[in-house]
Amino acid sequence: MEKLMIAGSDPLKGTVRISGAKNSAVALIPATILAESPVTIEGLPDISDVEILKDLLEEIGGSVQFCEDEMTVDPSKMISMPLPNGKVKKLRASYYLMGAMLGRFKKAVIGLPGGCHLGPRPIDQHIKGFEALGASVTNEQGAIYLRAEELRGARIYLDVVSVGATINIMLAAVRATGRTIIENAAKEPEIIDVATLLTNMGAKIKGAGTDVIRIEGVDTLHGCRHTIIPDRIEAGTYMILGAAVGDGILIDNVIPQHLESLIAKLREMGVQIETSDDQIFVEKGTKPFKAIDIKTLVYPGFPTDLQQPFTSLLTRTEGTSMVTDTIYGARFKHIDELRRMNANIKVEGRSAIINGPILLQGAKVKASDLRAGAALVIAGLMADGITEVTGLEHIDRGYSHLVEKLQGLGATVWRENLTKEELEHLKNI
């Protein structure tokens, strides 16, 4: 096991290239199960979630070639192998195997998903959708059993706007008989990306990116080639880092429209930002930034995934800022760690209240989840002295080549093996 060492306070400068979107990748890879011939996805990020999904496709009989950032999946010999335990539990997005395997084989057994602990993360809307399409769904000893004689299109209203449920129902419905209508669907760019892949595979989908998605079922789907969209959350993380410690950072390979809420909030603080077709430039801040409030909302609102990194930046602003998470009310595990670094923050209900400006101090901190990790990396780069971040397995799930990208911007960061004592200590907390 390793820890990330960060020597803070260096101004960062230069260009960082953004990788393919994690939250698209984890749906696109399972979506290949629905085809009858090879599907190639290019631009995949080099993250552990992608590796785990590759292994899971191989477990069910897929032949997968993965070289650099391109994966080719031949799904023709896949079978509906039950996956009640093992790697399936390592990532939350393994729930997409439910929709994809149900769509192709009319049955699936998938262990209940793992992933980041952000408070309760139910999947009742996914199940409601599968049942509406004609599947029987049971939960037996921590695994979900799905079975259908036939999948039939249905009208499904989501009680909660859910990215996962919207994608999962699309996956199950594209090969169902007849028309499916998903109402109150999520509108995130990753949903459009998955719909684009499925359409290239021969599916008939209209309205992805709006709150009503219409799907006409087809009998079979075929292989194709697809390029993944850039990761808006990774891009947003580097933009926040650029505002916090940048001396001029160019974010390359990004779709600025996907980041409008973040750009607006950074500008409100006084950060200078320029956008072009596929790049965003974050200028060096000259004046102290203004304190602001943010509230996370479904897309196109401010993303919950950037709330934690943004909190680190807000420790530097003058006055009191408030961050409210309406999606995951308990996504505040990073706050105690930021406090260890001298931040003045308190959590009240679904909100964190940040008083600044504070000069953060390097400390030993632990990433409890992926975006908490991003928050601590940014805090470490802002801090005086050395910060040691453990819990890197969370960060490795979502940030492709983090150390190399930071070093490319001039940061002094490196990975070190944990000592025996540190390993013991981590086991005991």
Contacts to ligand EPU by CB under 6 A: 23, 26, 92-93, 116, 121-126, 160, 162-165, 186, 233, 304-305, 327-328, 370-371, 398
Minimum separation from the CB atom of position 420 to ligand EPU (A): 31
Q: Which CB, 97 or 163, lies closer to ligand EPU?
A: 163
Minimum separation from the CB atom of position 94 to ligand EPU (A): 10
CA angle 48, 29, 222 (to 5 degrees): 160
Catalytic residue ranges? 116
Minimum separation from the CB atom of position 248 to ligand EPU (A): 27
CA distances from 418 to 265, 392, 424 (A): 38, 11, 10
Minimum separation from the CB atom of position 23 to ligand EPU (A): 3
Q: Which CB, 143 or 358, lies closer to ligand EPU?
A: 143
Minimum separation from the CB atom of position 421 to ligand EPU (A): 31
> CB nearest ligand EPU: which residue?
164
Q: Which CB, 92 or 334, lies closer to ligand EPU?
A: 92
Q: Which CB, 124 or 404, lies closer to ligand EPU?
A: 124
Minimum separation from the CB atom of position 177 to ligand EPU (A): 24
Q: Which CB, 363 or 378, lies closer to ligand EPU?
A: 378
Q: Which CB, 22 or 214, lies closer to ligand EPU?
A: 22
Minimum separation from the CB atom of position 347 to ligand EPU (A): 17
What is the edge-to-edge ordering of all strands in the sheet holding 39-42? 63-67, 70-74, 39-42, 225-227
Q: Which CB, 126 or 334, lies closer to ligand EPU?
A: 126
